[in-house]
């Protein structure tokens, strides 16, 4: 049989084009319902010659194959985008969190660095003093969902403490909560300052002063180290502890180091964000009901993070998620450099779009939207479950004045 | 002596004797309500919460759940997650759900035909209440066409078999005393099976109902109450016999069939009915015995054709009503209640048929243990058991 190859080529392409719209409904109709029904009513065939009405009863049980898949007609279409600007359809929490009542706002938390107060020691070094109180607070972690939290300074995560490499640090810790608590810093310090039993773990009403040098530079964390550890962690007792590198100590990468020193001219052009990935087990069954960055589920979906596209972005990212061994960060439409633990001035991973962090793992992400179109760029955990239970948000990328 | 004292009390004294404890009781209530002496027990614990899903509807707009609150205080459903994803929803009526109240939650979720879905309801305290949809299929909407079809199914599982059973009446007419004993014992046997089946199903349903309805207590007490009421009514004019007794049997069986209809209709409403031809035939075969049972006590009477029609309607018709009720307004507690009332009615009929059987024989005690009676009783149970196996899935 003679074959006109050019004609066949055209036919195939047109067939592909025309078949595409009908393909998805075909996938969800007969095969599934037939096998499912066969499971429920075995021996259906055995009862041949059944009454006509009885077989009509069968068809009554046959579901409308297009149910739930209708693109029109219904009052509410489950498939339609709920808000075209947001591209997340109906997959969202209902209502708004009262940030004023909570006493902290996830948007403000992104840039709210706690730098304490400084004085110069006789030897010329800087002494930096932080004051942290342990407080019991009920916080709203998703619209209308309240969680009896244990906090540092009334917020979850606790204050994002920021110091400079080589400084002397003094943290005055008061326990105003109902349980014993401590502050255990990831960093280099003596055993006496470790924040475990006998080294700064204090009862309600007591006070302890942790003192050590700020080293190594990097993106660290602190958390309560009282037993039972899981309970004290997932109740909210953790926070970022960032030590900026001293450019004078790293002459070969002085410019990079200087860009990380909060308040320096080189640092001013960066948009720096503090993000702590966390989760909340609201019914205490050992699994999280709400996942988030900076505590409030879907906070950055409801209030996308404004990014000036002309300036580079640096994220101090930490994983404080309890009960799940790892968490992750995925950026849409872009790639980034990653500095694991932030203790290096050159990237440990270049040009990646997903990184994962174990509990207490942290690092620095650097990226730029300079050459991008304006728009909403999504970011989220790439564990789909975490994403859909709250850990997702948007960067609203525009020019500074736009 | 005591009589004398009772009589000597003037009416005023007797009134006071009632009023004083009443006043003390009222005072105690006011005191408890105003002073709140239980305050000392308040240890800051969050309120106890309970949420029961009574109905699930899947249609083009997504998933609808009817949920009833049973907490110690009014409850707030804060968020809804379907398959581990937070989803928008609306509540009708909105606001906190008072203890015992029920609301509809409408979730525009694109459910997948034939697959399972898990819904998690989060309250404002963070408590979670899960609800499983084992097999997602579209819930039939209650159109006239659907109701008519359900009536046809109801007729097949209810009316047809009872009518078929009653058609054995002429053949049964000729049996002697032993045959009569056998048939009556057969009736008691099939009723014994129905009683246990009905009670266990009612208990199962009541376990799914909100705690506020007090599951098993409601079932047992409803069964006992209906039994006592029907006994009292039945004995209003002496022992029921003949056609009267047949009507009581038909009523008891009708109430049972109402419960059966509720179950089938409820399954339709839940979208999980795999109600096939085999199931319908099983139900029908199962119920033929019921017709024979109804006919048994009338063998010495002369019922008109109208009597047979009325008996058929009374025993089989409720299956249709049950299917309608089940598919339109299914809730586990109402189904459990209907089945419990049915159980009470069945017990009453068992007592009356047994009494009738004993009265029919001169040697009352011996008749009960005769081979015909024992074979009939056990045969009734065995037949019901075997045919019930056909309709279990």
> Is B129 an interface residue toward A (CB < 8 Å)?
no
The enclosing H or E element of A223 equals strand A218-223
Whether A191 shows a pLDDT value over 50: the answer reads: yes
Residues of chain B with pLDDT under 50: 1-2
CB A110 within 8 A of CB B88: no
pLDDT, mean of residues A140-147: 95
Local confidence band at A26 (pLDDT 50, 70, 90 cut-offs): very low
* Residue A81: predicted pLDDT: 42
Structure tokens at B6: 């009772």
**Which residues, other chains included, contact B142 with Cβ-Cβ below 8 Å and sequence gap of 6+?**
B327, B328
Round to whole Å and give the CA distance between B107 and B61.
Answer: 8
Residue A239 vs residues A220, A276, A317, B115: alpha-carbon distances, Å: 9, 7, 11, 42
pLDDT, mean of residues A269-273: 96
> Is B153 an interface residue toward A (CB < 8 Å)?
yes
Best of A56, A282, A284 to mutate (most B CBs within 10 Å, chain B): A282
Sheet holding A392-398: strands in order across? Answer: A305-308, A392-398, A375-380, A326-331, A354-358
* Residue A27: predicted pLDDT: 31
**B219: helix, strand or coil:** helix
How buried is residue B204: exposed, middle or buried, by Cβ count under 10 Å (0-12/13-18/19+)? middle
C-beta atoms of B278 and A47 within 8 A = yes
pLDDT, mean of residues A90-114: 93
User: How far from the centroid of its chain's Cα atoms is residue B332's Cα?
Assistant: 9
Cα first-last separation, chain B: 69
> Is B220 an interface residue toward A (CB < 8 Å)?
no
> Is A318 an interface residue toward B (CB < 8 Å)?
no
Local confidence band at A32 (pLDDT 50, 70, 90 cut-offs): very low
How close, in Å, is residue B143 to chain A by CA atoms?
A: 11
The structure tokens 């909570």 sit at A102
**A379: helix, strand or coil:** strand
Best of B47, B57, B75, B79 to mutate (most A CBs within 10 Å, chain A): B79
Round to whole Å and give the CA distance between B37 and B31.
Answer: 9
Whether A344 shows a pLDDT value over 80: the answer reads: yes
Angle between helices B305-328 and B332-360 (to 10 degrees): 160
* Residue B393: predicted pLDDT: 57
How would you label B294-330 residue by residue, b for 16+ Cβ within 10 Å and e otherwise? bbbbbbeeebeeebbebbbbbbbbbbbbbbbbbbebb
Q: What pTM value is reported for the model?
A: 0.75
DSSP per residue, A113-161: EE--EEEE-TTSPEEEEEEEEEEEEEEEEETTEEEEEEEETTBSS--EE
How close, in Å, is residue B38 to chain A by CA atoms?
A: 24
Round to whole Å and give the CA distance between B50 and B68.
Answer: 8
Round to whole Å and give the CA distance between A163 and B226.
Answer: 79
* Residue A19: predicted pLDDT: 33
Search chain B and give the residue with CA nearest A65. B113
> Does the predicted interface ipTM exceed a cut of 0.85?
no
pLDDT digits (tens, 9 = 90+) for A59-87: 333 333 333 333 333 345 555 444 433 44
Best of A78, A101, A292, A389 to mutate (most B CBs within 10 Å, chain B): A78
pLDDT, mean of residues A311-327: 96
Search chain A and give the residue with CA nearest B112. A68
CB A129 within 8 A of CB A117: yes
């Amino acid at each position: 049989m003679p074959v006109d190859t050019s004609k066949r080529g055209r036919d195939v392409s047109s067939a592909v084009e025309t078949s595409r719209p009908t393909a998805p409904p075909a996938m969800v109709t007969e095969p599934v319902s037939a096998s499912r029904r066969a499971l429920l009513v075995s021996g259906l065939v055995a009862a041949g010659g059944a009454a006509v009405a009885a077989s009509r009863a069968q068809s009554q049980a046959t579901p409308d194959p297009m149910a739930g898949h209708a693109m029109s007609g219904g009052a509410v279409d489950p498939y339609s985008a709920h808000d075209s600007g947001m591209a997340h359809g109906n997959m969202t929490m209902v209502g708004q969190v009262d940030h004023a009542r909570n006493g902290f706002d996830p948007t403000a938390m992104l840039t709210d660095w706690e730098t304490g107060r400084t004085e110069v020691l006789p030897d010329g070094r800087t002494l930096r003093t932080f004051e942290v109180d342990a407080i019991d607070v009920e916080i709203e972690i998703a619209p209308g969902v309240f969680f009896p939290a244990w906090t540092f300074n009334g917020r979850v995560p606790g204050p994002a403490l920021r110091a400079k490499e080589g400084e002397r640090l003094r943290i005055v810790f008061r326990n105003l909560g109902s349980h014993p608590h401590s502050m255990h810093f990831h960093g280099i310090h003596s055993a006496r300052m470790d924040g475990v039993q006998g080294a700064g773990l204090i009862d309600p009403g007591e006070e302890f002063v942790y003192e050590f040098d700020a080293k190594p530079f990097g993106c660290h964390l602190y958390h309560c180290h009282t037993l039972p550890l899981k309970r004290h962690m997932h109740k909210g007792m953790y926070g970022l502890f960032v030590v900026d590198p001293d450019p004078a100590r790293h002459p070969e990468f002085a410019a990079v180091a200087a860009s990380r020193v909060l308040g320096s001219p080189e640092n001013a052009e960066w948009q720096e964000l503090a993000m702590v990935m966390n989760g909340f087990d609201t019914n205490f069954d050992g699994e999280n009901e709400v996942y988030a960055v900076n505590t409030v589920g879907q906070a950055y979906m409801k209030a996308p993070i404004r990014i000036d596209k002309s300036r580079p972005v640096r994220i101090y990212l930490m994983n404080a998620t309890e009960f799940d061994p790892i968490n992750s960060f995925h950026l849409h439409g872009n790639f980034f450099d990653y500095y694991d633990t932030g203790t290096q001035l050159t990237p440990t991973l270049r040009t990646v779009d997903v990184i994962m962090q174990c509990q207490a793992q942290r690092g620095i992400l650097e990226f730029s939207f300079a050459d991008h179109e304006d728009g909403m760029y999504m970011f989220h955990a790439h564990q789909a479950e975490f994403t859909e239970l709250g850990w997702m948000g948007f960067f609203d990328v525009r020019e500074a004045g736009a | 002596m005591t009589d004398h004292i009772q009589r000597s009390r003037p009416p005023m004294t007797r009134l006071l004797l009632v009023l004083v404890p009443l006043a003390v009781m009222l005072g105690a209530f006011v005191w408890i309500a105003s002073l709140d002496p239980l305050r000392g027990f308040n240890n800051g614990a969050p309120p106890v919460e309970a949420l029961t899903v009574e109905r699930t509807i899947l249609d083009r707009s997504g998933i609808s759940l009817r949920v009833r609150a049973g907490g110690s205080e009014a409850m707030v459903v804060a968020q809804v997650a379907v398959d581990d994803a937070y989803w928008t929803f609306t509540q009708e009526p909105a606001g906190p759900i008072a203890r015992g109240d029920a609301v509809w939650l409408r979730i525009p979720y694109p459910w997948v035909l034939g697959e399972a879905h898990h819904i998690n309801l989060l309250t404002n305290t963070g408590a979670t209440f899960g609800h499983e949809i084992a097999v997602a299929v579209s819930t039939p909407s209650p159109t006239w066409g659907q109701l008519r079809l359900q009536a046809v199914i109801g007729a097949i599982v209810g009316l047809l078999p009872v009518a078929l059973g009653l058609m054995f009446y002429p053949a049964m007419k000729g049996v002697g005393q032993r045959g009569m004993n056998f048939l009556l014992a057969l009736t008691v046997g099939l009723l014994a099976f129905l009683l246990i089946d009905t009670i266990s199903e009612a208990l199962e349903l009541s376990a799914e109902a909100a705690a506020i309805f007090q599951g098993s207590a409601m079932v047992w007490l409803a069964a006992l109450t209906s039994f006592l009421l029907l006994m009292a009514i039945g004995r209003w004019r002496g022992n029921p016999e003949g056609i009267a007794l047949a009507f009581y049997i038909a009523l008891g069986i009708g109430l049972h069939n109402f419960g059966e209809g509720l179950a089938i209709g409820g399954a339709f409403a839940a979208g999980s009915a795999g109600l096939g031809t085999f199931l319908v035939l099983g139900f029908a075969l199962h119920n033929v015995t019921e017709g024979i049972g109804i006919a048994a006590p009338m063998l010495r009477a002369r019922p008109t054709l109208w009597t047979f029609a009325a008996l058929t309607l009374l025993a089989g018709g409720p299956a249709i009503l049950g299917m309608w009720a089940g598919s339109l307004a299914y809730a586990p507690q109402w189904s459990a209640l209907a089945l419990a009332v049915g159980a009470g009615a069945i017990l009453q009929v068992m007592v009356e048929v047994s009494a009738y059987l004993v009265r029919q024989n001169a040697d009352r005690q011996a008749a009960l243990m005769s081979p015909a009676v024992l074979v009939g009783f056990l045969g009734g149970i065995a037949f019901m058991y075997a045919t019930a196996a056909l309709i279990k899935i």
